[in-house]
Amino acid sequence: MKRTFLEAMIHRRTFYTISNHSPITVKEIEAIINEAVLHVPSAYNSQTTRVVLLLGKSHLKLWKIVEEALKEVMKGKSFDATKAKIDNCFACGYGTILFFEDQAVVEKLQKTFPTYKDNFPIWSQHTAGMHQFAIWTMLEDAGLGASLQHYNPLIDKAVAETWSLPEEWKLIAQMPFGTPIAEPGGKEFESLAKRVKVFK
């Protein structure tokens, strides 16, 4: 859509009402992910983020895993409402992106730079957040709507086993996406005077 970075950032929203269609090809979706993974910064250039793209049956399988995990811990009407949200906001999409952080890399950095040992897990989370924001914004700019979900750690083991992922990969978030079929809800903003301070 050739927006400026600021325009793309402003347009990025949480979309729950999505369809299982995409205005761009799978190859273009892969390119968005690849560019973000290559160019998003990380502490010490550690490149800890790992990304898995789930499409088709794999996408549906993920949300079945989520549903089964939640069924174990929820009862009655509360689960019915949750199942409806899974079916109508996440599983109904075109795909899901899974975000992981490689703990083997984090632990190696902790051993190599013991002075900052306690900071590396925090910096890893910073890197994860930047990847999520970058990919989310680029997907939206390409005409896709997405939301960010956190069903970990309930689904961690099943996800790792289903897709034979390394045990060192720690699941951070899930991003279902698809073509938006309704506008996002309203968004309120706290006063910038409370959130930003400038000293001269």
149 residue type, one letter: Q
Q: Which CATH superfamily is domain 5-182 in?
A: NADH Oxidase (3.40.109.10)
Q: Which residue has the tokens 């347009």?
A: 11
Q: Residue 182: which pLDDT band, with cuts at 50, 70 and 90?
A: confident
Residue 154 has pLDDT above 90, yes or no: yes
Question: Measured between alpha carbons, how far is 109 from 142 in angstroms, rounded to an integer?
Answer: 36
* Rg over CA atoms, the chain: 18
Residue 5 has pLDDT above 60, yes or no: yes
Mean pLDDT of 43-51: 97
Q: Which of 54-58, 123-127, 181-185 has the lowest mean pLDDT?
A: 181-185
| pLDDT computed for residue 1 by the predictor | 56
| pLDDT computed for residue 72 by the predictor | 87
Q: Compute CA 119 distance to the chain's CA centroid, rounded to the nearest angstrom.
A: 22
Hey, where are the domains in the chain? 5-182
Mean pLDDT of 67-77: 85
Please state the pTM of the whole predicted model.
0.94
Phi, psi of 114 (to 5 degrees): -60, -25
Q: Residue 76: which pLDDT band, with cuts at 50, 70 and 90?
A: low
Six-digit token string for 152 = 């970990």
Mean pLDDT of 108-132: 97
Residue 90 has pLDDT above 80, yes or no: yes
| pLDDT computed for residue 3 by the predictor | 86
Question: Measured between alpha carbons, how far is 3 from 34 in angstroms, rounded to an integer?
Answer: 20
Number of H helices, E strands in the chain: 8, 5
Residue 24 has pLDDT above 90, yes or no: yes
Residue 191 has pLDDT above 60, yes or no: yes
Residue 75 has pLDDT above 80, yes or no: no
